[in-house]
């Protein structure tokens, strides 16, 4: 079935780097080199607010909604090395939910905190599923884990992870488990957890190697049965790969894993499940795992590629390819949006043309 | 300024550099007048990149005249006046962008260290420019440039590469993907330099660094 364009948001004056759909409300946030973040109502497709260009001095690279709490809270990460936290407080939850179907609702968003610490450009931010932690990563080669208080105004750095040897391009928390993944210019993917003996300490539990270029982004599988954890990754080497955590942690059947690793409590075993069928010709900048189990990838070649897994043999296949999805522009981000009312999945992409597109994937 | 990294580079004379006129030598005889004509032609060709290009207008949307923006009113007005006065203007638009045109755009960039251009220092040579031009303007095309640093440990190779990238991103329509590589065996950290020069995120961040931009605009100030 073909991929068809459903809606275009044109408003950013420069590259769109990142988008985020609020898990509770029909809210879309988009981040751009034009130093603004735009908030849209996904029901009416109306612009709700522009988080202004005065807060960040440089491009806004990344955006992520906090998954927990009664009202929407947003984190923005910028090339100016700071993170800003925005929220819409003092709201009646029930009342706020109903406002999304009315037109022209004026909104009042508040800057709640500015977080400083990184030396240079922030590339990615991600909240943990319970909203307790926020992670951020930077060209300074580090990942910082911040603990968030209930007011969303105080953020305390609980750990600085320095395992990567180059820029950290992406950090992402698992949607159900307190497990943090990261990918880097050093071509590797790493996974982190809280130390089982000391929760204030975070440690690297696994390193995934195989990509032969910068790993631009990773995304975890959304379904979570039986501790089954998988992630997809995409890279400068133009491949998309799926990796899985082996069920039996620290008790591997594989001979080639050193025994010292097996007995280590703070370690996980991961293996490559599949390099997905070749579809991209250039750098792949973003990949996203849908709630119903599809994977989408986008990149420099302007293509949207959708992959689907054959449940019988766990073999991934290309389902659809859509060329020149942002005309000749590069595509920087893709993200799935599950519309609960329609029980239907859409894909949201952002490109160098400053446009954010919503796609029908039938 | 500290001691130059390469104090004594080989220098080519400008007349030795490839230009469009060398292909038409039989017609023009390669005399001085022909070179002047060639300059005009070059201007025309490079200016033709700026006008009438619809996808350009759509993509280069930054009103603040950002570094990567094509919306410089001065350039646009020059371009439109050329378009208006020349009946050949429309034909030029249909002419595909070739290696010579890319060479003309980047060979006049100044070396950050010497009062010479990248063409004169043979950092850029016509043979190391490859253009994969798709016929339709709605398709993605590609430019691959290999640069030859004057010495194998040249720490300015990344800066030179960045200057070339900024120049081409400013001048070429957005359908072009630009790949800049250090020529095989000409630099001791070839892979590192290549990786850096082709990382769009690092390039975008570098273009927001005022100090770096200052150096680059100086390098580009000798471009026609």
Phi-psi region of A9 (alpha: psi -120 to 50; beta: other; left: phi over 0): beta
User: CB B55 to CB A327 under 8 A?
Assistant: yes
Model pLDDT for residues A85-98, shown as the tens digit of each residue: 999 866 666 677 77
Between A250 and B15, the more confident residue is: B15
Q: Which pLDDT value is given to residue B34?
A: 37
Residue A134 CA to residue A155 CA, distance in Å, equals 9
User: CB B204 to CB A79 under 8 A?
Assistant: yes
Size of interface A-B (CB pairs under 8 A): 66
Residues of chain A in contact with residue B97, where contact means CB-CB under 8 angstroms, are none
Task: Choose among A121, A169, A328: nearest Cβ to B175.
Answer: A328
* Opening angle at CA B108, ends B105 and B111, nearest 5: 125
Which of A135-144, B2-11, B135-144 reaches the highest mean pLDDT? Answer: A135-144
Q: By CA distance, what is A355's nearest residue in B?
A: B59
- ipTM for the predicted complex comes to 0.91
Residues of chain B in contact with residue A169, where contact means CB-CB under 8 angstroms, are 201
Domains and CATH numbers, chain B: 14-220 (3.30.300.130)
Residues of chain B in contact with residue A214, where contact means CB-CB under 8 angstroms, are 195, 199
Q: Which pLDDT value is given to residue A93?
A: 66
Residue A147 CA to residue A132 CA, distance in Å, equals 6
- Probe site for chain B from A325, A327, A331, A356 (most B CB atoms < 10 A): A327
- Probe site for chain A from B63, B194, B204 (most A CB atoms < 10 A): B204
Q: Which pLDDT value is given to residue A105?
A: 58
| Mean pLDDT on A4-17 | 97
Q: Which pLDDT value is given to residue B136?
A: 87
| Mean pLDDT on A19-32 | 96
Residues of chain B in contact with residue A328, where contact means CB-CB under 8 angstroms, are 55, 59, 138-140, 173-175
CATH number reported for the structural domain that contains residue A125 in this entry? 2.130.10.10
Q: Which pLDDT value is given to residue A266?
A: 79
Tokens representing A271 are 């293996």
User: CB A185 to CB B174 under 8 A?
Assistant: no
Residues of chain B in contact with residue A302, where contact means CB-CB under 8 angstroms, are 140
User: CB A14 to CB B175 under 8 A?
Assistant: no
pLDDT band, residue B84 (cuts 50/70/90): very low
* Opening angle at CA B11, ends B5 and B15, nearest 5: 150
Out of A198-207, A299-308, B15-24, B144-153, which region has the weakest mean confidence (pLDDT)? B15-24
Out of A134-143, A148-157, B86-95, which region has the weakest mean confidence (pLDDT)? B86-95
- Structural domain count of chain A: 1
| Mean pLDDT on B117-134 | 95
H or E segment at A78? Answer: strand A73-78
pLDDT band, residue A34 (cuts 50/70/90): very high
Q: Which residues are B150's β-sheet partners?
A: none
Tokens representing A51 are 């988080």
SS3 label, residue A67: coil
Between A61 and B17, the more confident residue is: A61
Residues of chain A in contact with residue B66, where contact means CB-CB under 8 angstroms, are 14
Q: Which pLDDT value is given to residue A309?
A: 97
Residue A139 CA to residue B203 CA, distance in Å, equals 12
Q: Which pLDDT value is given to residue B66?
A: 38
Nearest residue to B215 (alpha-carbon basis) of B143, B112, B120:
B112
Between B105 and B32, the more confident residue is: B105
What is the span of the domain harbouring residue A272? Answer: 3-361
Q: Which pLDDT value is given to residue A106?
A: 59
Model pLDDT for residues B170-182, shown as the tens digit of each residue: 999 999 999 999 9
């Amino acid at each position: 079935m073909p991929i068809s364009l459903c809606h275009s948001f044109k408003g950013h004056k420069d590259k769109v780097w990142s988008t985020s759909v609020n898990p509770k409300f029909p809210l879309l946030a988009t981040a751009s080199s034009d130093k603004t973040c735009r908030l849209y109502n996904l029901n009416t497709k109306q612009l709700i607010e522009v988080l202004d260009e005065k807060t960040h001095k440089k491009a806004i690279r990344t955006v992520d909604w906090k998954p927990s709490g009664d009202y929407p809270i947003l984190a923005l990460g910028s090339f100016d090395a700071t993170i800003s936290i925005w929220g819409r407080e003092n709201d009646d939850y029930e009342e706020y939910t109903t406002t999304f179907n009315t037109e022209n609702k004026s909104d009042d968003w508040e800057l709640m905190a500015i977080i400083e610490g990184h030396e240079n450009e922030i590339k990615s931010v991600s909240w943990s599923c319970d909203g307790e932690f926020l992670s951020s990563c930077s060209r300074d080669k580090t990942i910082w884990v911040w603990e968030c208080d209930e007011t969303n105004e105080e953020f305390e750095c609980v750990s600085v992870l320095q395992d990567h040897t180059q820029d950290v391009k992406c950090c992402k928390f698992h949607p159900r488990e307190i497990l943090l993944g990261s990918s880097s210019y050093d071509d590797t993917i790493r996974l982190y957890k809280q130390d089982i003996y000391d929760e204030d300490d975070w440690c690297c539990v696994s390193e995934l190697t195989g990509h032969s270029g910068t790993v631009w982004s990773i995304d975890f599988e959304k379904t979570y049965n039986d501790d089954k954890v998988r992630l997809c990754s995409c890279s400068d080497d133009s491949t998309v790969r799926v990796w899985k955590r082996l069920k039996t942690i620290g008790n591997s059947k594989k001979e080639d894993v050193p025994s010292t690793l097996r007995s280590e409590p703070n370690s996980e075993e991961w293996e490559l499940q599949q390099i997905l069928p070749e579809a991209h010709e250039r750098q792949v900048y973003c990949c996203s795992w849908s709630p119903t189990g599809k994977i989408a990838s986008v990149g420099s070649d302007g293509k949207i590629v959708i992959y689907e897994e054959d449940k019988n043999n766990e073999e991934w296949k290309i389902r659809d390819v859509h060329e020149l999805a942002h005309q000749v522009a590069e595509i920087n981000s893709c993200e799935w949006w599950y519309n609960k009312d329609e029980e239907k999945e859409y894909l949201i992409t952002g490109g160098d043309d400053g446009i954010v597109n919503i796609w029908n994937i039938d | 300024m500290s001691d130059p990294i390469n104090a004594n580079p080989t220098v080519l004379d400008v007349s030795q550099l490839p230009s469009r006129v060398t292909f038409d030598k039989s017609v023009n005889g390669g005399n001085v007048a022909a070179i002047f004509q060639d300059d005009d032609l070059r201007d025309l060709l490079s200016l033709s990149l700026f006008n009438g290009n619809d996808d350009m207008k759509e993509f280069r949307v930054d009103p603040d005249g950002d570094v990567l923006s094509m919306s410089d009113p001065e350039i646009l007005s020059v371009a439109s006046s050329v378009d208006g006065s020349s009946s050949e203007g429309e034909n030029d638009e249909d002419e595909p962008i070739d290696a010579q045109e890319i060479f003309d755009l980047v060979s006049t960039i100044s070396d950050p260290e010497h009062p010479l251009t990248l063409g004169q220092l043979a950092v850029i040579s016509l043979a190391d420019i490859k253009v994969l031009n798709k016929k339709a303007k709605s398709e993605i095309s590609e430019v691959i440039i290999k640069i030859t640093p004057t010495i194998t440990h040249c720490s300015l190779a990344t800066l030179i590469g960045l200057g070339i990238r900024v120049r081409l991103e400013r001048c070429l329509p957005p359908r072009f993907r630009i790949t800049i590589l250090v020529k095989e065996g000409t630099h001791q950290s070839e892979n590192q330099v290549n990786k850096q020069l082709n990382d769009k995120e690092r390039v975008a961040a570098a273009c927001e660094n005022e100090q770096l931009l200052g150096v680059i605009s100086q390098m580009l100030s000798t471009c026609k």
